[in-house]
A and B are shown apart, each in its own frame.
Chain A
């Protein structure tokens, strides 16, 4: 006890300088663009930032299945139905890789899901908007997946290896979804008058929420600076938002649709589009749970979880019963072939 007490200040000082050195070595690795892997030492704050971000991303994929899943049974052709099922399924797959990437940081998928269901974890606010017409499926693919790609392509170079690798695959699929969404919008925009109106209405409703997907202005973004030092984030919210607008406005023009922003104009000097003020009060309200579908989305996830409880329990009970003698498991496999 005594020795320990005497030794502790000195040890603390050593630990302090050791800790500083570790941090410096860690930052140097990041600066050299080395990938950080699960077994490598990392600062606790880096770990926590990544867990928060990857989990939020995973939750967004899972909750994002709901607004689009809402149209699977009503897709207007069998080809569109198949494409939509495949897309929603891809999103579930993205959720799965991302939960796995988060698990490499020492959290359990079950705990992350618990945080989502209890309302403690966030997911992308865009999914709290309703899908009211078929054109919304096109608008989500074109705008929401388009905005997601802007955010996510830089994450393929993120300093944390498992996240970066998951993002490579996710981005490939997202870009495919974005093209499918645009093609759907093009079909509607060039279709009948009613279809064109449906497409315009969808753009009117999804444009501003899509811009909000990039998060608050840089001046108000809490996490940006540190995340950029750690190369978790490579561009600021405003940079990505601007890039999205610059790419998307000509696409809207090609569709013959009008972007619902009276202040939108091309600025020759900066070679960027200038755009109107985002309604940040709406952003904050949706973030706080007051969006049009926050309640429904969480309810749907909770219902799936609750209704599935007896199924999961049955699987566990069956596995426990059949764990022991190997020949019984083999007999079971035989009957299923």
Chain B
């Protein structure tokens, strides 16, 4: 990885490192939780198992990243304290990850757009100056390659399948496209992380993501929707209404029975 490693070594605060890690961790956690809803309900047994596998990988990434954030914070919060004892505004996931499984097309489009972003991001993070993050990225990037193969493969099949599948996947693409603005538009923290050699260079992810996604959309015979400015970014804690419900379900046991071991 050239971009992050070549960057300077500007000062980075503990709070910024944690904030940046939570963006990655929460995105994996929330996406994994969404896919976890589907196990046992897939269109075929094979797809059921594949989606379960991806969910498992994402939860695994979240665990490593949350644990790292907790260690850096050094206030005794472990992966579970961070996952189960924060409210929606404290979550830093990309809003795309929390969008519901309306149908298989919506799930595939969400995953595909997110997988491309995760794959490029983790690829870049393998050279991060934050060594523990680079280690996690080395593991995650292998998983993301498989996730992308799966979701892009289905996007192509659905886009170039039947009239119905094309219509469904086009509708999902139209509905979810606005959330890609957040993935691709670096904010001040993203820019600062790049300067510090921790995160990818601004613009790099957009360029690579765009090339990757455009190629698959073309193969799937799907029209790329026009860019839509959408400034309500989950990575800054501004979410869609869906996240609160997702967390209500996910966090109910630790909140109902606080202070016990599971």
Contact = CB atoms under 8 A, between A and B. Distances in A.
- Do A and B come from the same complex? yes
B39 A69 contact: yes
Nearest to B48: A92
From B40, B49, B149, B156, name the one whose CB has the most chain A CB atoms within 10 angstroms: B40
B157 A318 contact: yes
B228 interface: no
Contacts of A95: 45
Nearest to A71: B253
Contacts of A315: 157, 161
B43 interface: yes
A88 B260 contact: no
A220 to B, nearest CB: 33
A247 B243 CA distance: 45
Interface in A79-95: 79-82, 85-86, 88-89, 92-93, 95
Contact of B164 (A72, A300, A304, A313): A313
A62 B226 CA distance: 42
| Interface residues of chain A: helix, strand, loop or mixed (majority) | helix
Interface in B58-116: 59-60, 62-63, 66, 79-80, 83-84, 103-104
Contacts of B160: 318, 321-322
Interface range on chain A (Cβ under 8 Å from partner): 35 or more
Interface residues of B, number: 55
Contacts of A66: 40
A23 B56 CA distance: 49
B41 A303 contact: yes
A309 B43 CA distance: 7
A268 interface: no
Interface in B231-262: 249-250, 252-254, 257, 260-262
Interface string A25-65: 00000000000000000000000000000000000001001
A66 B80 CA distance: 25
B165 interface: yes
Nearest to B158: A314
Contacts of A317: 161-162, 165
Contacts of B249: 73-74
A37 B149 CA distance: 37
B55 interface: yes
A62 B152 CA distance: 27
A310 B168 contact: yes
Interface stretch (A158-166, A189-197, A221-229): A189-197
B185 to A, nearest CB: 25
A217 interface: no
B104 A311 contact: yes
Interface of A: 62, 65-66, 69, 72-82, 85-86, 88-89, 92-93, 95-96, 99, 134, 187, 191-192, 194-195, 300, 303-304, 307-315, 317-318, 321-322, 331-332, 335-337
24 contacts: A73-B249, A77-B254, A78-B62, A78-B83, A82-B60, A85-B39, A85-B59, A92-B49, A134-B262, A187-B261, A191-B261, A194-B260, A195-B260, A311-B44, A311-B165, A313-B161, A314-B158, A314-B164, A318-B156, A318-B157, A318-B160, A335-B156, A336-B148, A336-B216
Given A72-B39, A77-B254, A309-B43, 5 more contacts: A73-B250, A85-B56, A194-B257, A308-B44, A335-B152
